[in-house]
A and B are shown apart, each in its own frame.
Chain A
Amino acid sequence: MAESDQTFESLLDLVRRLPPTRIESNVNALCDLAPEYADDLLGNVDQPLKLLRDEEQGKDFLGCDYNRDGDSFRSPWSNTYLPESTSGPTPSPRLRQLETSLNGAFDTYREMYFEGGVSSVYLWDLEDEPEAGKEMSFAGVVLLKKTLSPSSSDPETAPLGSWDSLHVFECHERGRSAKYKLTSTVMLVLETKTLAKADGKGAEGAEGKGNVTLSGSMTRQAEVDYPLTTAAGHIPNIGRLVEDMEIKMRNLLSAVYFGKTKDVINDLRSQSGLETKSKEDLLRAELAGKLGGRK
């Protein structure tokens, strides 16, 4: 068994190292390489959310491993699996009511923070026989996705990007409070072009063009106890939990994407040149100067 665990660790280690932009094809390849770990892998590796359409409700929704049954995904709006209807799991009626409310609340949240995009919330029971009036244990996932579409006015240079967040949580009601355990992953891709215009900078006649891609994902966890007096209390509780985490992670992403990787670039290459000021160097410079002067 130790050997098997090692295989799984190696699969996850590869996912942590290979380019995030190619995660989908890489995870498929890893599933082919180690089919016995395919389910574990798909359950442990977050992939970009699938954008799906619930034609009947006229609304978009998001798909991930948590609302998937075979090739179909359950829509939070109609509670049915699409595009092929399947008999995949659905939440108990009481949980479905909470799910519907949470979808409404996070739709507002999405509009306020993302000003576009799509959101979906899915819940599932953690008990075999959920009963009304009993303390609930359930789990769920809040999904948010926004993609920057290429601007029609400036398709050449406008940056592209996408944000996918998954907030997976477990909730256990305990008397007048509830314990929430949250694992959040944000996948962020940003892409733009470079021109390296050298006009007037001493490299006349030079042309250049390229692109820059910043991509990846970060994962963080949190655990809180919030007061809970009624079933509806889960909505502000989960809402605040997710909101606080996203604010924290947005700052973190900003620090890593725009701070850390930039620092590494400046570690790789010194823009202004490294200082060489030892006496020996000065002497050598003198010598070189004389050599140059004696031509």
Chain B
Amino acid sequence: MAELSIEEKVKLASKFIEQTPPGEINDVINDIRTIIANDEALMPQVIPALRDYNLTQLQVVEHQASDTAPVHSSVLSHAAILPGSEEGNERYADAEGKRSFAFDHVTLAVSDYQPYELPEEEETFRAELAKSLSAYAKNHFPSGFSSVSSSQFPLLPPAPEPPVVPAPVADESTETPNPTEAESSEPIVTDVVEEQVGTGEVEPVPTPAVEGVSTKLEEVDQEGGLEKVDELVEEAKEEEEREEAGEKADGNDTPKVEEDTLEDGKEVPVSEVSKVDETIVEAPEETVAAPVQVEERKQERVENPIYTLEIVGNRYNPNNFWTGRWRTQWIVDKAAESVSGSINVDVHYYEQGNVQLATQHKASFPLPTEPNGSQSVASQIVTTISKIETNYHLELNDVYGELGDKAFRALRRALPVTRQKMDWEKVSGYSLGSDLTKARG
């Protein structure tokens, strides 16, 4: 058999990369490098395989603090590819840091940060989902990372004239409440998500974005909602005193009024949006101004952007010869009115052996369409996700019972029916040729 060319060898070796167990990519790459012994030929050619691996396995990327976000991380995935970014020069969204970046799939180095900003409507919903998901991830994944991506095109870079004022405000509001939310969350799944309720109540009703008026109104709503959160967090302490004095929400300043209107807005179906318009008249002017500017821009848009929620939980313990990864990807598709997802768990145990658990699970549920009581749509989505994943987790534990008790026993008994080990003298006596038996004496 003729030996393969170096190109063929590199191609063949690249196929090992996608099979790499959690946390062992460097080991596999180094093995391949030793076997191929030609880095110049190998390294450029394995990049596509490494890219696929990083995107599929939800590589975690650490980000330094930005103007709007503290040190944080994002999850690399196909969903995080910046819409409109070119093949070969692919960029990824760091939604939390409001930046996009280039990524070197070999060195895992991040570079070339640029501003990234979603339209208000998408960012509001995305941020709500992100906040709920982060709380869920923090509560259930000891070393978990989560990200939510929107397939919507980011806003064009700001025009030279007035910068989009409310955007940074919205940015901070998505960041600041985060630690508060997550750390205050309670161990019970439902509770965790219910806590989101106070902040993420405004659900952009599934109205096509083309309906200019209602879109604008939604944005106003969300603007206010986010700003409210932001301000409330800041004002919370001083207001505690006032509340002690017996004051209730009615006697408060502008943001409070806005809150009340939003509370109403929650219940308002699409057909009654105009009514919201009236109640919201008193909303602070500065928040109204920005979305209008956005509307005026020539902006590439997708009609029904999807939102992808991703969690990756990794545990690597090479000293004890095991690694593991739990991946979760859920896609919120408003057009299809459904949320569909996949859960993958991979475990590798390799002390004097090579044992791997690989699970794939797909699930879906109908998209909640309106707030349920005080629970926002985003919060409902994550609540259902957490319930499905917990059910799946429980089922996995049952599967172990089934496989261990039934399948394993059906393959090989622990002991024969007699409950005794074989009597080899007797067996050889039965089945042996007479010569050997006699000779045994």
Residues of A within 8 A of B (CB): 6-7, 9-11, 13-22, 26, 29-30, 32-35, 97-98, 100-101, 104-105, 107-109, 112-115, 146, 148, 159-163, 188, 190, 192, 194-198, 201-203, 205-220, 229-233, 235-236, 239-240, 243, 246-247, 250, 253-254, 256-258, 260-262, 264-265, 267-276, 280-281, 284-285, 287-288, 290-295
Task: Tell whether B19 is near chain A: CB-to-CB under 8 Å.
Answer: yes
B190/A216 in contact, CB under 8 A:
no
A288/B432 in contact, CB under 8 A:
no
B399/A212 in contact, CB under 8 A:
yes
> Chain B CB within 10 Å — which of A207, A208, A257 has the most?
A208
What residue in chain B is nearest A214 (Cβ atoms)?
Answer: B357
A269/B326 in contact, CB under 8 A:
yes
A sample of 12 cross-chain residue pairs with beta-carbon separation below 8 angstroms, ordered by A number, consists of A19-B356, A98-B436, A113-B413, A188-B408, A188-B411, A192-B402, A194-B359, A198-B388, A203-B391, A260-B355, A274-B139, A285-B184
Q: Given the known A-B contacts A101-B436, A239-B424, A268-B325, are A203 and B388 also in contact in the complex, defined by CB atoms under 8 Å?
A: yes
A230/B439 in contact, CB under 8 A:
yes
What residue in chain A is nearest B181 (Cβ atoms)?
Answer: A288
- Tell me the residues in window 320-369 of chain B with beta carbons closer than 8 Å to chain A beta carbons: 322, 324-326, 343, 345, 347-350, 352-366
What residue in chain A is nearest B183 (Cβ atoms)?
Answer: A281
B388/A284 in contact, CB under 8 A:
no
Listed stretches B113-121, B193-201, B212-220; interface member: B193-201
Whole-angstrom distance between the Cβ of B246 and the nearest chain A Cβ: 14
Contacts of B292 in A (CB 8 A): none
In order of increasing CB-CB distance, the 8 nearest A-B pairs are A210-B361, A216-B355, A292-B198, A208-B363, A218-B353, A104-B431, A236-B424, A273-B187
Contacts of B422 in A (CB 8 A): 108-109, 112, 239-240, 243
Task: Tell whether B47 is near chain A: CB-to-CB under 8 Å.
Answer: no
Query: What separation, in Å, do the CA atoms of A254 and B390 have in the docked complex?
Result: 25
Whole-angstrom distance between the Cβ of A31 and the nearest chain B Cβ: 9
What residue in chain B is nearest A36 (Cβ atoms)?
Answer: B3
Whole-angstrom distance between the Cβ of A230 and the nearest chain B Cβ: 5
Query: What separation, in Å, do the CA atoms of A295 and B248 have in the docked complex?
Result: 10
Interface string of B194-210 (1 = CB under 8 A from A): 01011101000000000
What residue in chain A is nearest B360 (Cβ atoms)?
Answer: A210
Q: Given the known A-B contacts A212-B396, A218-B355, A290-B236, are A270 and B142 also in contact in the complex, defined by CB atoms under 8 Å?
A: yes
Contacts of A34 in B (CB 8 A): 35
A210/B343 in contact, CB under 8 A:
yes
Q: Given the known A-B contacts A33-B4, A33-B9, are A108 and B431 also in contact in the complex, defined by CB atoms under 8 Å?
A: yes
Main SS of the interface on chain A?
helix
Contacts of B271 in A (CB 8 A): none
Task: Tell whether B313 is near chain A: CB-to-CB under 8 Å.
Answer: yes
Contacts of B360 in A (CB 8 A): 210-211
Task: Tell whether B384 is near chain A: CB-to-CB under 8 Å.
Answer: yes
A216/B4 in contact, CB under 8 A:
no
Whole-angstrom distance between the Cβ of A92 and the nearest chain B Cβ: 15
A108/B343 in contact, CB under 8 A:
no
Query: What separation, in Å, do the CA atoms of A5 and B4 have in the docked complex?
Result: 21
Query: What separation, in Å, do the CA atoms of A18 and B350 have in the docked complex?
Result: 11
B350/A206 in contact, CB under 8 A:
no
Query: What separation, in Å, do the CA atoms of A289 and B384 have in the docked complex?
Result: 22
Residues of B within 8 A of A (CB): 1, 3-4, 9, 12-13, 15-16, 19-21, 24, 27-28, 30-32, 34-37, 138-142, 144, 179-181, 183-190, 192, 195, 197-199, 201, 229, 232-233, 236, 240, 243, 249, 259, 263, 313-315, 322, 324-326, 343, 345, 347-350, 352-366, 374, 383-384, 387-397, 399-400, 402-404, 406-408, 410-418, 421-422, 424-425, 427-428, 430-433, 435-437, 439-441
Contacts of B232 in A (CB 8 A): 291, 294
Q: Given the known A-B contacts A196-B361, A203-B391, A208-B361, are A291 and B142 also in contact in the complex, defined by CB atoms under 8 Å?
A: no
Query: What separation, in Å, do the CA atoms of A112 and B415 have in the docked complex?
Result: 8
B345/A268 in contact, CB under 8 A:
yes
B436/A216 in contact, CB under 8 A:
no
Contacts of A281 in B (CB 8 A): 183-184
A235/B411 in contact, CB under 8 A:
no
B428/A105 in contact, CB under 8 A:
yes
Whole-angstrom distance between the Cβ of A18 and the nearest chain B Cβ: 5
B350/A17 in contact, CB under 8 A:
yes
Contacts of A32 in B (CB 8 A): 4, 9, 12
A202/B413 in contact, CB under 8 A:
no
Whole-angstrom distance between the Cβ of A244 and the nearest chain B Cβ: 8
A243/B4 in contact, CB under 8 A:
no
Query: What separation, in Å, do the CA atoms of A16 and B12 have in the docked complex?
Result: 18
Query: What separation, in Å, do the CA atoms of A208 and B322 have in the docked complex?
Result: 28
B140/A269 in contact, CB under 8 A:
yes
* Among B21, B358, B441, contact of A213 (Cβ-Cβ < 8 Å): B358
Query: What separation, in Å, do the CA atoms of A290 and B232 have in the docked complex?
Result: 10
Q: Given the known A-B contacts A33-B35, A203-B388, A268-B325, are A163 and B421 also in contact in the complex, defined by CB atoms under 8 Å?
A: no
Query: What separation, in Å, do the CA atoms of A12 and B414 have in the docked complex?
Result: 31
Whole-angstrom distance between the Cβ of B229 and the nearest chain A Cβ: 8
> Chain B CB within 10 Å — which of A162, A203, A233, A264 has the most?
A264
Query: What separation, in Å, do the CA atoms of A202 and B31 have in the docked complex?
Result: 47
A213/B359 in contact, CB under 8 A:
yes
A207/B355 in contact, CB under 8 A:
no
What residue in chain A is nearest B256 (Cβ atoms)?
Answer: A294
Whole-angstrom distance between the Cβ of A165 and the nearest chain B Cβ: 9
* Among B313, B387, B395, B412, contact of A146 (Cβ-Cβ < 8 Å): B412
What residue in chain A is nearest B326 (Cβ atoms)?
Answer: A268
Contacts of B180 in A (CB 8 A): 284, 287-288
